[in-house]
Structure 1
Amino acid sequence: MSSAKVTGAPKREQWTGQFGFIFAAIGSAVGLGNIWRFPGVAFENGGGAFLIPYFVALLTAGIPILLFDYAVGHRFRGSAPLALRRAAGKGGETIGWFQVMINVFIATYYAVVVAWAVSYFVFSFDLKWGDDAAGYFVGEYLQTSEAPFTMDFVPALLIPVAAIWAVVLIVQATGVAKGIEKMNVVFLPLLVVTFLALVIGAITLPGALDGVSAFFTPDFAALAQPKVWIAAYGQVFFSLSVAFGIMVTYSSYRKRRSNLSSPGLVVAFANSSFELLAGVGVFAALGFFAAQQGIGVNEIDGISGVSLAFMTFPAIVAEMPMSQLFGVLFFGSIFLAGITSLISVLEVIIAAVMDKFGLSRRQAVWGVGGLLAMISLALYTTTSGLNTLDVIDNWVNNFGIVFAAVISTIVVMWIYKRGPELSHHISALSTFKVGRVWRFFVGILSPLVIGFMLVQVVVSLTRDGYGTYPSWYTNLFGWGCVAIMVLAALIFTSIPWKYDPNKFVPYPEFTPEKQPTVEKSNA
């Protein structure tokens, strides 16, 4: 430990109350994946039947691990590295820094996608993409090169990406309550209203109900396929922002005697409700487009991811009545969903640096955030930026987050045996109690299921590669990212803390006879 350390870290920032936390947590969970990932995943894995494994996964993995993150962050009062250090020693801290590095990579490309949405929001007023939406996106807008990697910058991308970074860093510098919370309280209701207007408009279009029917038509035979269940667990896992430090960090800003379980249920079901709403809206639009083209919905290419948002949907918008309005609503929704999630990703990094090095919020935001902004501009505003984004996103999400989930639950629940302590903490502070069933889901079922997912991912990426990219490229930007995350986690763990990480005010061991007064949820 450094001789400069004092008795403990400075007082931690806090949300103003229950609703501030809930809005921020939902704002983090409801992101780009809700709009462009869930509809496609559901459609490709049994349609309406997919909802069965989806809700099973939500109840057995999504909500339990969400509460696990809440409990770790709230009980041990810190960012991911600090809270996990207090829960599981130096090994826990290393896992926490690995989670921070996941957010570093996500932040650098997530800001770029939000910037694309802002550009397309402006383009919607005159339908700038014309009759060839896909060609405009990869050609004129991104100027994508055939070479896997270039350093040729696209000037039109620099300004919107820099502007997004300026906005989010200003919000971060303002603080947890005055910046992050207020932004979510404004933007989240605006997102719901905007997207609801889009959905209502979409389902009134000719052929829309055929699209919705195609989305919900169940293929129960798909339930016999293991890959469908893996897809369900993967979707729930990724969409709830669990296992990579966000909810650990956010819950550390909660008041000491705050209800933990009820807000967790609110956040989880609000996120799932928005995903279902997104499925209806997206497939209503796809149904209309299929009717206009005289084809079936299953014949449309690009119904998920970047292709859906920036190629397929602009083409659909061009065919719609009131095209400009639909474009504005869709890309406005993408922007609102993306920026609230980006804020939460950045907060994981900022909080960790503040805790470790004793920096002020402004020092951490402008120092670390400014560095991330430069990396983002350098990597993703070139003619090969789309390729780099695609590969890094695949490895970070499909390997990095899954690996972090497996190792964190095993270390905390198995090696350090914190399960009884964490379940007791949740129950003592909450109206909804958890116990052995919760510990089974978090400590046994989830590691087994997610571990199986991890093995499948590693085998697939090692054996088959990724897409049509050459192996040197995926090794450099895929496995190379993983190597950087591991190496950085080890280096940051070895650096002395500015403050003694083990000196903090612990929670009393609440007993059934002496339950604390907790903040009630009216949500």
Structure 2
Amino acid sequence: MEENREQWGSKIGFILAAVGSAVGLGNIWRFPYVVYSSGGGAFLIPYFFAIFTAGIPLLILEYGMGHKFRGSTPLSLARANKKFEWFGWWSIISSAIILCYYSMILSMAMKYLTLSFNKGWGEDSNFFFYNDFLNLSDSPLNLGGIVFPILIGIALIWFINWFICYKGIKSGIEKMNKILLPCLLIIMIIIVIRGVTLEGAEVGLNKLFTPDWNKVKDPKIWILAYGQVFFSLSIATGIMMTYSSYLPRKTDINNSAFMTVFANCGFEFLCAIGVFAILGVMATIEGVPVEEVVTSGIGLAFIAFPKVFTIMGAWGNILGVLFFVCLAFAGITSAVSLVEAISAAIIDKFGWKRKKVVTGMCIIGFLVSTAFATNAGLYLLDIMDNFINNYGIVVVGLLEAFVIGWIVKPKVIREHTNAISHFKIGKWWDFIIKYITPTILLITLVQSIITEFKTPYGGYDLTSLLLYGWAIIALGIIGGILISKKPWKTENEEVL
């Protein structure tokens, strides 16, 4: 296999890049809510169980595959078994769509960063977000006009993506993560320290960590824990196999997987403490129970938090700026990893030059992303995110576990990683990849489909769900199959 592949400058550079990919917006706004709504402290039991039975095993699988077969996700899968190249492309197409709507969220974070200096969202953050800022249309099918502040932000994000990935692995992605990740951690620590020392913080923290042991008996909570671990580690998105293919021949793969997972978990817990301390402050000031101020996702970042910053006085300005810088940094490290996963696959397949691929991809990406800068952009983001996460990524993860577990055989990957790792993994890993991971992902998938048919997602009309949801899944599968039919560039063809 070719050895003219770019490489990381150091193992720590690779770990930081992998952690940078894993640490994203989900850590900041999804994890705290999942813990709170899933039994508080009791949720940690299914969460850690999921980490050891899915998070670490699947990460070892992806690191091992990328490192052994020296290629982006589609190339690594094609080298393992030509028949399964197509779903490597499916994960790349899903990542491309995620990247387009991710740029909208990052654009909003940047706009709110500028607003946070003078609390420009005013007294009613809810009205400001939906009406003044987004001017949201009445349905996903009514695109309306362009929201220019979002479009400008999207252009800026794509320029940043291009600038970092154009420079390559060592002097682009590695250097960026060495700067942004420590900054991200320091900012989050400042938010947490200030958050927990404010009056009312303990109300939020008690609500977050008080265990509700009854919830541990609920199978849905266990599935939710697996979902959280799966999504927050960037598994089945094409990123981790690609990143590990740039590692030198002798690298401790198993240890790297453990380090990535625990660094990501640590950051998730830090975010949860900071978020709930601030929500506790808000509940205390407004004299309402914590339940009434708790929200997840975009509502937390762009409605609930601005509201808290408004009533916090001068500290609100400081924490507001820090919080939106945090969102921007966490998002950029994830966005860059998606750009790299997609570009690497195209470079491997067609043999085009990195600079040409990255430039072309960022231009096309920007043009596609303009759909999210319309008045219906938030609807499109919501529907696509639901379908890609619940169907696209879960099915790719399921296929990965099945192909490695039953066709390539886990022993092949385990022996490869053990040969170069200080910490050896045993046959328990084979068992997890063959039986446990596929079973849990299959249950998750079936449950998602049943829920979807019982109550269509988000109360949207069927046309919108078909157009922006199911059609996106079909695009991934059909696109994956069509691209896999094309021949690889000659030097990759030789080793398939």
* TMscore range, shorter length: over 0.9
- 1:142–1:383 Cα contact (<8 Å) kept: yes
Deviations 1:171-226 (A, max 9, x none): 11010110000000000000000111011111111100111111000000101100
Partner of 1:410: 402
Match of 1:237 in 2: 230
Q: Which residue of 1 aligns with 2:132?
A: 140
Amino acid at match of 1:444: Y
Of 441, 465, 471, which aligns to 1:480? 471
- Structure 1 runs (4+) greater than 6 angstroms displaced: none
- Cα distance, 1:25 vs structure 2: 0.5
C-alpha distance in 2, partners of 1:423/1:9?
22
TM-score in terms of structure 1 length = 0.93
Q: Structure 2 counterpart of 1:186, which letter?
A: I
How many Å separate the matches in 1 of 2:448 and 2:491? Answer: 38
Quick one: distance in 2 between partners of 1:471 and 1:343? 34
For each residue in 1:11-50, what CA deviation from the matched residue of structure 2 results, as whole angstroms up to 9, or x when unmatched? 1110001111011011001100000000001100100100
* Structure (1 or 2) with the greater helix fraction: 2
**Is 249-258 or 145-154 further displaced after alignment?**
145-154
Q: Are 1:310 and 2:302 counterparts? A: yes
Q: Deviations over 1:44-90 (max 9, x none)?
A: 0100100111001001110000000000000000000000000121x
Match of 1:320 among 312, 335, 338: 312
C-alpha deviation, 1:151, in angstroms: 4.4
Aligned to 1:394: 386
CA distance in 1, matches of 2:110, 2:102: 13
Alpha-carbon distance between aligned partners in 1 of 2:139 and 2:382, rounded to the nearest angstrom:
14
User: 1:275-424 residue pairs with structure 2 within 5 A?
Assistant: 275-301=268-294, 303-321=295-313, 322-377=315-370, 379-417=371-409, 419-424=410-415
Query: What secondary structure, in the 3-state scheme, does the structure 2 residue paired with 1:467 have?
Result: helix
The residue aligned with 2:434 is 443
Q: Secondary structure at the match of 2:457?
A: coil
SS at structure 2 position matched to 1:501: helix
**Distance in 2 between the 1:151 and 1:86 partners?**
46
Q: In the TM superposition, what is the alpha-carbon distance from 1:500 to its structure 2 partner?
A: 4.2
- Paired residue for 2:14, among 10, 21, 28? 21
CA contact 1:92–1:408 (8 Å) conserved in 2: no
Give the distance between the partners of 2:140 and 2:363, measured in 1 at CA. Answer: 27
Report SS of the residue matched to 2:469.
Answer: helix
Matched, 1:62 2:49: no
Instruction: Report how far residue 420 of structure 1 moved.
Output: 0.7
Is the CA contact (8 Å cut-off) linking 2:151 and 2:373 kept in structure 1?
yes
Residues in 1 aligned to 2:128 and 2:477: alpha-carbon distance in whole angstroms: 38
Which of 475, 492, 496 in structure 2 is aligned with 1:501? 492
Deviations 1:251-284 (A, max 9, x none): 0000011110111111100100111111100000
Name the counterpart of 1:201: 194
Using the TM superposition, give the Cα deviation of residue 474 of structure 1 relative to its aligned residue in structure 2, in angstroms.
0.5
1:137-174 CA-partner distances (Å, limit 9, x unpaired): 11111111113221411122111110111111111101
* Aligned residue among 258, 267, 282 for 1:274: 267
* Counterpart AA for 1:105: I
Aligned 8 A contact 2:136 2:376 in 1: yes
2:66 to 73, 79, 86: 73
Aligned to 1:509: none
Deviations 1:217-261 (A, max 9, x none): 000010110001011111011101112211000000000111101
8 Å CA contact 1:80–1:249 kept in 2: the answer is yes
1:217 to 195, 204, 210: 210
**2:137 pairs with 1:118:** no
Distance in 1 between residues matched to 2:289 and 2:490, nearest whole Å: 62
User: C-alpha distance in 1, partners of 2:105/2:18?
Assistant: 21
The question of 1:102 aligning with 2:85 is answered no
TM-score where L is the length of structure 2: 0.98
1:469 to 460, 464, 477: 460
Residue type of the alignment partner of 1:199: V
User: C-alpha offsets along residues 424-481 of structure 1, whole Å, 9 cap, x if unaligned?
Assistant: 0111110111121011112210000011001111111123110121011011100010
**2: distance between equivalents of 1:279 and 1:499?**
49
1:455 pairs with 435, 446, 463, which one? 446
| Distance (Å, rounded) in 2 between the aligned partners of 1:362 and 1:10 | 19
Q: Which letter does structure 2 place at the counterpart of 1:406?
A: L
Deviation at 1:501, TM superposition (A): 2.8
Looking at structure 2, the residues matched to 29 and 148 of structure 1 have their Cα atoms a distance apart, in angstroms, of: 30
Q: Which amino acid aligns with 1:219?
A: D
| Aligned match for 1:248, one of 241, 244, 258 | 241
User: What CA distance in whole angstroms lies between the structure 2 residues aligned with 1:47 and 1:175?
Assistant: 42
Task: Give the distance between the partners of 1:199 and 1:87, measured in 2 at CA.
Answer: 45
Does the aligned pair in 1 maintain the 2:119–2:310 contact within 8 Å?
Answer: yes
Give the letter for the 1:218 counterpart.
P
Percent of residue pairs bearing the same amino acid type: 41
Query: 1:500 and 1:475 mapped to 2: Cα distance?
Result: 40
Two-structure CA RMSD over aligned residues (Å): 1.2
Count matched residues: 494
Cα shift at 1:9: 5.5
Equivalent in the alignment of 1:131: 123
Q: Is the 8 A contact 1:153 1:383 kept in 2?
A: yes
CA contact (8 A) 1:199 1:277 kept: yes
Unmatched runs of 5 consecutive residues or more in structure 2 = none
Contact 1:9 1:499 in 2 (8 A): no
Range that drifts further, 425-434 or 457-466: 457-466
Residue of structure 2 equivalent to 1:511: none
SS at match of 1:362: helix
Q: Is the 8 A contact 1:47 1:218 kept in 2?
A: yes
CA offsets, 1:292-339, max 9 Å, x none? 1111111225x2111111111111111113211010011010001000
Q: Mind listing any 5+ residue stretches in structure 1 that lack a counterpart?
A: 1-7, 507-523
Alignment partner, residue 521 of structure 1: none
Deviation readout 1:395-420 (Å, 9 max, x if unpaired) = 01111100100011102221232x11
